[in-house]
Structure 1
Amino acid sequence: MSTADRHAWSRPEPEPVAPGVLRVPLPLPSDALRAVNVYVLDDGPGLTLVDGGWTLSRSRDLLAEALAGRGAGFGDIRRFLVTHMHRDHYTQAVALRRELGVPVALGAGEQDSMAAMESRPGPFAPQVAGLRAAGAAALADLVAGGPGGTADEEYVDYAAPDHWIVDAEEIAVGDTVLTALETPGHTRGHLVFEADDVLFAGDHVLPHITPSIGFEPAPRPGALQRFLTSLARLRERPDRRLLPAHGPVAPSVHARVDELLDHHAARLDTIERAVQDGTSSAAEVAGAITWTRRESKLVDLEPFHQVLAILETDAHLEVLAAQGRVTRVADEAGVHRHEVPGA
């Protein structure tokens, strides 16, 4: 598949993907993800939207154009059902609620992270701490001193939702019933929504990339294990068409879940071998293995992607330690060191 074909899904061209469901790609200020899919569902006389996009003027304009193409407008939106609290999914929904009073619903597992946002934390504060524990002090200093994090004007769009959705909650949308399933891992409160033969998967199952793990304002240990358990949960349910937040619609949730489980099993093996070869901290292990389809070295990645790579490595080391395949001990400086038992 050519690069152009790979990114065709992100063009601002609304696409019907199921009866009464329109996929609307909305732009993001990054070439990495390019766009987020917002799904517009017929809901009786109005509309329900799964995810809301990022608060950007271009995003708002394109959403208005897509609704107008259906003979509707913002006033016809009955509610937003948001898969998780990342800004590219949540903030535009809250901005439209502030303007129009449209209710917003979010997974109950996001409550701690939403509360953490109320304190206006410094740029990526939990991730900076994680980098230090991973042995990446220089990168932690760079991130802490950089312009990253949440802009002041965006904090207003991190207000609490009108409704906290719980696991297995059923939501009537027109003649369809959506079932919300908790799928923690990408964030603690991530949800997917099952409907007939489709799954609104958010960032839990993506067709082209593996989602970041536990990148949130209030992370806690065990994010990767929760992600793998959540994938296994979907694998046990009936297969459906995959409607992801980033990327094109795909024919099978199960097929992609199998690929993701295989990827992480292989990554666990690779990281265990790196520890056997003498690397110790997550930063050292991340530097000893390759990343992305291009098999790039850690030093060749942009700083933000280095952050994701090191934190992902640490999450895998955490799982390996829980499985007894490595030992994990903090040294005097608080850096987690790893060894293979008996080495």
Structure 2
Amino acid sequence: MKITGILQHQAWQERVLPPVEQVRPGLWSIPVPLPDNPLRYVLVYGLEVPDGIALVDAGWDTPEAWDALRAGLGIAGYEVGDVKAVLVTHLHPDHYGLAGRVREASGAWVALHPADAGLLRDRYRDFDGLIAAMRRQMALHGVPDEEAGPLAEASRAILPLVRHTDPELLLEDGEQVPIAGWNLRTVWTPGHSPGHVCFFEPDRRLLLSGDHVLPRITPAIGVHPQQRHNPLADFYDSLDKVRGLDAEEVLPGHEYRFAGLADRVGALAEHHTARLDEIALEVIRAGADGATAWDLARRLTWSRPWADIQPFMRRAAMLETLAHLVMLEAQGRVDTVDGARAAGAAADGQPPCRWRATPVPPDPVDTVDTADPADPADPADPA
């Protein structure tokens, strides 16, 4: 992988906002700040069209973000009223949150994949049902009562960051975006969200990758009440889908631009494969009684000690762990104790779902156990 956003990379290292840049003729990169967030900013892209400008993503709805977006458009020679469209890569607040305000100020149309569009109201308007579902999910996967409530309620704080608007245009996989002067094609890449999309411009050999492929970090892939059953399997498939695109440069939603799409896709896949192995090993160590997703998440290696991880990120860590467990179950490497339900919500009186290693059947020809009992990677080892 080669860093092409030199100024962006320098700003990332210095922990400051990068400058507004003209990436190519007619294409602008506008950083919009995310205060008090480790991602620091989202990169909004402005695509010049004959009668104005179209945006890919928008930032979240705060005064700082709004001012930065307006200022960035001004550097490019436009005003908010010149925005004709907002193409949203996915429904998360830092990408979708300002779309409604831009639409109100400009009359721009908003586009989103239908899989994410169908989740907007439950996520940002009729929110109590989602909070209740999260609370039941926390109980199902072993989060202690004293932490389950705060973890489930953590999303409530993001509601002020979103100005809800329903999209006028639903972009299906492979569909060309109706923007004059651009051959922009929709690439559906579920995983980070059910309806995440990238936008590929084959004539300019550019991939606007949203959160699907980032240069330094891996996007969060978690089992969530609004997610598909096996989001990590979806993510692997989505990585394969973009791996072979003839993209000279990748324009991500965060951090900095880069070249070498196939190399970065390979590194992301390797990261999750290593994570699957780490979690499988922890399940083996848990023995026949198994362990909950919460137990396992607390034992894994994260970027900081568990005690330093804030509630919202603890929930994300548990949901990511659960996504890997669901993938391991699909691979036949783990299962749930007593056939407990691994998805959905806890029923009254139901004990937490616990995971154990799948017993390895004896070889039908040679039934002599030659495995080293000291090898912790042996699925039959109860240690």
TM-score, structure 2 as length reference = 0.81
**In the alignment, is residue 339 of structure 1 matched against residue 356 of structure 2?**
yes
Q: CA offsets, 1:235-264, max 9 Å, x none?
A: 133344111111100112212111100000
Q: CA offsets, 1:255-292, max 9 Å, x none?
A: 21111000000000000011111151111111222112
Amino acid at match of 1:54: W
1:284 corresponds in structure 2 to 295
Contact 1:124/1:217 (<8 A) preserved = no
1:134 corresponds in structure 2 to 141
Which of 179, 183, 188 in structure 1 is aligned with 2:189?
A: 183
5+ residue gaps, structure 2, are 4-8, 342-348, 360-379
Moved more, 8-17 or 25-34: 8-17
Tell me: CA distance 1:148–1:7, structure 2 relative to 1, closer, same or farther (3 Å).
farther
CA distance in 1, matches of 2:11, 2:64: 23
Aligned residues: 337
> What are the residue-to-residue correspondences of 1:109-148 with 2, within 5 Å?
109-117=115-123, 118-121=125-128, 124-138=131-145, 139-144=147-152, 148=156
Post-superposition offset of 1:86: 1.0
Post-superposition offset of 1:127: 3.6
1:90 corresponds in structure 2 to 96
Contact 1:180/1:191 (<8 A) preserved = yes
**In the alignment, is residue 194 of structure 1 matched against residue 200 of structure 2?**
yes
Q: CA offsets, 1:178-214, max 9 Å, x none?
A: 0001101111011100013111111111111111124
1:307 corresponds in structure 2 to 315
Q: Highest relative contact order (Cα 8 Å, sep 6+), 1 or 2? A: 2
1:232 corresponds in structure 2 to 240
3-state SS, counterpart of residue 354 of structure 2 = strand
Amino acid at match of 1:26: V
When Rg is computed on C-alpha atoms for both structures, the one with the higher figure is 2
CA distance in 2, matches of 1:147, 1:66: 29
Tell me: CA distance 1:261–1:144, structure 2 relative to 1, closer, same or farther (3 Å).
closer
TM-score, structure 1 as length reference = 0.90
> What are the residue-to-residue correspondences of 1:33-48 with 2, within 5 Å?
33-48=39-54
Contact 1:124/1:149 (<8 A) preserved = no
> What are the residue-to-residue correspondences of 1:224-263 with 2, within 5 Å?
224-263=232-271
Q: Percent identity?
A: 34
**In the alignment, is residue 61 of structure 1 matched against residue 67 of structure 2?**
yes
CA distance in 1, matches of 2:117, 2:71: 33
1:273 corresponds in structure 2 to 281
3-state SS, counterpart of residue 176 of structure 1 = coil
Q: CA offsets, 1:73-99, max 9 Å, x none?
A: 112111111101111111211112123
Amino acid at match of 1:180: T
Contact 1:82/1:90 (<8 A) preserved = yes
Q: What's the Cα RMSD here?
A: 2.4
